[in-house]
Amino acid sequence: MAQDTTLRFYNIDYCTYQEQQHGFQSADGEIKYLDVGTSDKVVMLLHGVPTSGWLYRKMIDSLVDGGMRVIIPDMLGFGASASPKGYDLYTPTAHANRLLALMDTLNIDKWCHVFHDFGGQVTWEMLRQDSARVSELVILNTIIYEDGFNPPVRMKRGPIAHIAMSLYRSQLTNKFMLKQLFKMSLHNTELTKTEFKGYQWPMLHGKTKAMYTFFTNTKYALPDYSAILKNMTIPVGVVWGKHDKLLQWDVQASSVMQDLHIEPENVHLVEASHFVQEETPVAICDAVLNITE
């Protein structure tokens, strides 16, 4: 599928967004992704739970205009990607394997990596497997340490978790569930109907298997990623919504900055909550363009 180089993504609708996506046939199922721009400077934008690449639509134009090639995957089980059966298909390690395979297929050896929420766990596993692939990191309200991780619910595998996921798939309850999520995860921003539908569509089309794995896989303490972080020597920047109650910066800031060797001037606490991409896309684009110049 040829990329429409004149298309502007900022105010796009989800149907048009999907039309611009390419497909990568991984060993586990098809992954949909955007590939916009022709620069040798590449950035991957990685979403978390329960979102998709749609989360980054407000950033695409500015990054491409700033001289970047932008890769935005929908991880397996999210967005427009396939959602096959299998609990272990959706672990951080499995997601990491597929994303590295995607970049191999695109002949991209090295890139700036931007990630959010559950994308943190996937990123640490990617770096565990091949840390040389990433040239810079930009961290957005993501999972790093147990301190700071404060999800509204942590569920055991079983019937209750399955029922919870079914509420996201139902026309009767999906809207309520998502509205509650955005109420707690946006600071001073209200989504338009068009924007909301971009988050709603995947779940109404059954994309909850990966969510089920995430919510039940994080029932207990998170893995310790400190060894991975401490061994990194690449530039790292942080853009963090300071009003986020789900992933809190203050309680883990000193550990993260020390382990990742982040200078204070590279930490940007912004007037946003969890979904910083919706509320402060300019600040994130600035951080990416500055760290890659």
Please state the pTM of the whole predicted model.
0.96
- pLDDT band for position 174 (50/70/90)? very high
Query: Is pLDDT of 148 > 90?
Result: yes
The owner of tokens 């596993």 is 125
Assign 80 to helix, strand or coil: coil
Query: Is pLDDT of 138 > 60?
Result: yes
Mean model confidence pLDDT for the chain: 96
**CA dist., res. 210 & res. 15, Å (int):** 22
Work out the angle at residue 202's Cα, subtended by the Cα atoms of residues 3 and 10, and round it to the nearest 5 degrees.
45
**CA dist., res. 61 & res. 101, Å (int):** 26
Query: Is pLDDT of 43 > 70?
Result: yes
**Among 154, 75, 85, 155, which Cα is nearest to 116's?**
75
Reading phi first (left if > 0) and then psi (alpha if -120 to 50, else beta), residue 77 is in left
Domain 14-292: CATH superfamily, name plus number: Alpha/Beta hydrolase fold, catalytic domain (3.40.50.1820)
Q: Give the other-Cβ count within 10 Å of 198's Cβ.
A: 23
- pLDDT band for position 52 (50/70/90)? very high
Q: Which amino acid is at 261?
A: H
- pLDDT band for position 106 (50/70/90)? very high
- pLDDT band for position 2 (50/70/90)? very low
Query: Is pLDDT of 61 > 70?
Result: yes
Mean pLDDT, range 107-136, rounded to an integer: 97
Which tens digits make up the pLDDT trace of 235-276? 999 999 999 999 999 999 999 999 999 999 999 999 999 999
Above pLDDT 90, what percent of the chain? 96
Above pLDDT 70, what percent of the chain? 98
pLDDT at 6: 64
